[in-house]
């Protein structure tokens, strides 16, 4: 091996060792005393979508054109139609409102469901009638909003 080759080889080895042996150090600069810290920019919060609510669940003998309760009642005859009406607020399109009707024995008789096609506030109503006549006793209607229970009410057939 001649001197030139040896020097080139030695220089390459030294350069390679220096490359792998040196690590770039990170420095954190602190502002000088009395200087204001840099401003922190916070993202503006995105307004939360309104949460739909069901309120004022009422049993009625009739409902008005806007589905609000007409003549409220809690006792009905065997051939009467029973209405359950409720105020729904902040409901976005696609909100599911369900009424589950239970008989005196606690068994579910039927389930009615609507899905809103417009957003906003308003009354919602459901009704049930038994063409063969209701059995006497205490009945219950459970109301659900998007599958979650939000209230219940009762009525009596005498």
pLDDT in tens, 38-60: 565 565 565 566 688 888 999 99
Per residue in 71-81, pLDDT (tens digit) is 889 999 999 99
DSSP 100-135: EEE-TTS-EEEEEEEE-SS-EEEEEEEEE--TT-PP
- Phi, psi (deg, nearest 5) at residue 148: -105, 135
Burial code (b: 16+ CB inside 10 Å, e: under 16) for 101-114 equals bbbeeeeeeeeeee
**Domains contained in the chain, CATH given:** 53-157 (2.60.40.10)
pLDDT-based confidence at 16, cuts 50/70/90? very low
pTM above 0.85, yes or no: no
Contact 84, 58 (CB under 8 A): yes
DSSP H or E segment with residue 97: strand 96-102
């Amino acid at each position: 091996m001649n001197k030139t080759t040896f020097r080139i080889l030695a220089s390459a080895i030294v350069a390679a060792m220096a490359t792998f042996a040196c690590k770039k150090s990170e420095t954190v600069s602190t502002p000088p005393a009395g200087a204001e810290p840099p401003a922190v920019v916070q993202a503006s919060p995105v307004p939360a979508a309104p949460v739909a609510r069901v309120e004022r669940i009422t049993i009625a003998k009739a409902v008005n054109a806007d589905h609000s309760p007409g003549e409220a009642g809690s006792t009905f005859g065997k051939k009467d139609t029973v209405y359950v009406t409720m105020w729904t607020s902040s409901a976005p399109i696609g909100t599911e409102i369900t009424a589950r009707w239970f008989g005196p024995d606690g068994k579910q008789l039927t389930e009615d469901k609507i899905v809103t096609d417009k957003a906003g506030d308003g009354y919602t109503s459901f009704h049930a009638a038994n063409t063969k006549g209701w059995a006497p006793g205490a009945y219950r209607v459970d109301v659900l909003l998007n599958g979650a229970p939000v209230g219940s009410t009762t009525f009596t057939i005498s």
